């Protein structure tokens, strides 16, 4: 069953306005906004505007778009962290607003960009937390939980630092441990919000391949926010381009990725070509800063 999004609207302006009005006993918004230290985002701050989309299991979706266009907000709405102003998100046929956090945790796992664990748990303990939705209170993990954690730690390579404290790892190592925790949740859908931002290219490719394998073998649906268009093009089935809170294009890389679209969305001038090594279309960029018409590499 897909995640279905119907006519979704959300605005941080509305959200903060509601809170501010309650706190300040209905003081008109204009007065609140008049203060230069206002809590309100500017009038043109991005909102999610009328998104309709289905995310299916067994498919890898990449969400691309400029800073502040609403990618993380969209993900937060999809996983129930934020409530839409109007419209609905249906998770496996049920309105996400009607589901408990535990129900949602059995359906979706998230690796977020700046996730942290502040308590000095060991990496193994953190990865085991992925099994919490399935372990009854005051019970021990089952042999299935232990086997799954072991398997995921080996696949992701975090078994090498299983007994180290999460607070003492580098940014990339910590991100890999949190990735392993999300995989252990073993959910039909996995959300990645710039989950590779701290990782070197070796570990990025290794984890993308693991995710891709799970899409093909377990039928998992993956929805990933990327800034790297080329990585997204190689590993995803469907690219979703966003701009100012709206979806401007959605489809297979080979069908939709072209120079005009990237220029419209990001205001850069790429060259887009099929790359036989990458087995995908890829975008190349260049610096316009030259000396006597030559770049620093010529």
Tell me how far apart the alpha carbons of residues 159 and 141 are, in angstroms, rounded to a whole number.
18
Judged by beta carbon, residue 135 or residue 261, the one nearer ligand ATP is: 261
**Binding string, residues 19-58; x marks residues near ligand ATP by CB under 6 A:** ----------------------x---xx------------
SS3 (DSSP) at 168 = helix
**Binding string, residues 130-169; x marks residues near ligand ATP by CB under 6 A:** ----------------------------------------
Q: Looking at beta carbons, which pairs linking 151-154 to residues 24 or more positions away fall under 8 Å?
A: 152/127, 152/180, 152/183, 152/184, 153/123, 153/124, 153/127, 153/180
Judged by beta carbon, residue 11 or residue 280, the one nearer ligand ATP is: 11
Contact 80, 97 (CB under 8 A): yes
Judged by beta carbon, residue 62 or residue 73, the one nearer ligand ATP is: 73
How buried is residue 250: exposed, middle or buried, by Cβ count under 10 Å (0-12/13-18/19+)?
A: middle
CB of 78 to ligand ATP, least distance (A): 12
* Eight-state DSSP code of residue 111: E
Give yes or no for residue 62 binding ligand ATP (CB under 6 A): no
CB of 73 to ligand ATP, least distance (A): 3
Q: Which of 21-29, 60-68, 131-139, 277-285 is the region at the interface with ligand ATP (rule: CB under 6 A)?
A: 60-68
**Binding string, residues 63-102; x marks residues near ligand ATP by CB under 6 A:** --x-xxxxxxx-----------------------------
CB of 40 to ligand ATP, least distance (A): 8
CB of 64 to ligand ATP, least distance (A): 9
CB of 45 to ligand ATP, least distance (A): 4
CB of 163 to ligand ATP, least distance (A): 33
Judged by beta carbon, residue 112 or residue 126, the one nearer ligand ATP is: 112
Judged by beta carbon, residue 207 or residue 240, the one nearer ligand ATP is: 240
How buried is residue 45: exposed, middle or buried, by Cβ count under 10 Å (0-12/13-18/19+)?
A: middle
Judged by beta carbon, residue 14 or residue 103, the one nearer ligand ATP is: 14
Q: How far is CA 298 from the centre of its chain?
A: 38
CB of 297 to ligand ATP, least distance (A): 29
SS3 (DSSP) at 70 = coil
CB of 159 to ligand ATP, least distance (A): 31
* Strand stretches in the chain, DSSP E: 3-11, 47-55, 60-64, 86-91, 94-95, 108-111, 189-193, 221-225, 238-243, 246-252, 271-275, 280-284
Judged by beta carbon, residue 33 or residue 164, the one nearer ligand ATP is: 33
In this structure, the chain runs to a length of 298
How buried is residue 212: exposed, middle or buried, by Cβ count under 10 Å (0-12/13-18/19+)?
A: middle
Tell me how far apart the alpha carbons of residues 31 and 59 are, in angstroms, rounded to a whole number.
47
Site of interaction with ligand ATP (CB under 6 A): 12, 41, 45-46, 65, 67-73
């Amino acid at each position: 069953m897909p995640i279905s999004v119907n006519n979704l609207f959300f605005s941080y302006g509305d959200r903060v306005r509601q809170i501010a009005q309650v706190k300040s006993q209905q003081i008109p918004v204009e007065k609140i906004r008049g203060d230069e230290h206002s809590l309100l985002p500017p009038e043109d701050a991005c909102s999610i505007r009328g998104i309709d989309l289905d995310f299916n299991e067994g498919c890898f979706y990449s969400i691309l778009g400029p800073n502040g266009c609403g990618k993380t907000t969209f993900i937060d709405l999809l996983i129930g962290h934020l409530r839409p102003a109007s419209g609905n998100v249906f998770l496996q046929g049920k309105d996400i607003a009607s589901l408990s956090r535990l129900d949602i945790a059995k359906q979706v796992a998230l690796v977020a960009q700046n996730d942290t664990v502040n308590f000095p748990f060991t990496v193994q303990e953190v990865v085991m937390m992925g099994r919490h939705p399935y372990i009854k209170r005051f019970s021990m993990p089952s042999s299935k939980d232990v086997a799954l954690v072991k398997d995921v730690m080996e696949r992701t390579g975090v078994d090498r630092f299983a007994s180290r404290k999460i607070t003492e790892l580098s940014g990339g190592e910590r991100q890999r441990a949190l990735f392993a925790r999300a995989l252990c949740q073993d959910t039909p859908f996995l959300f990645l919000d710039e989950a590779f931002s701290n990782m070197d290219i070796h570990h990025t490719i290794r984890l993308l391949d693991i995710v891709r394998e799970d899409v093909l073998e377990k039928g998992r649906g993956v929805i990933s926010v990327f800034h790297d268009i080329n990585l997204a093009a190689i590993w995803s089935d469907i690219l979703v381009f966003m701009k100012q809170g709206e979806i401007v294009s959605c489809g297979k890389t080979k069908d939709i990725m072209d120079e005009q679209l990237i220029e419209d969305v990001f205001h850069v001038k790429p060259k887009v070509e099929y790359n036989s090594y990458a087995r995908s279309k890829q975008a190349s960029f260049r610096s316009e800063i030259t000396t006597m018409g030559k770049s620093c590499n010529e």
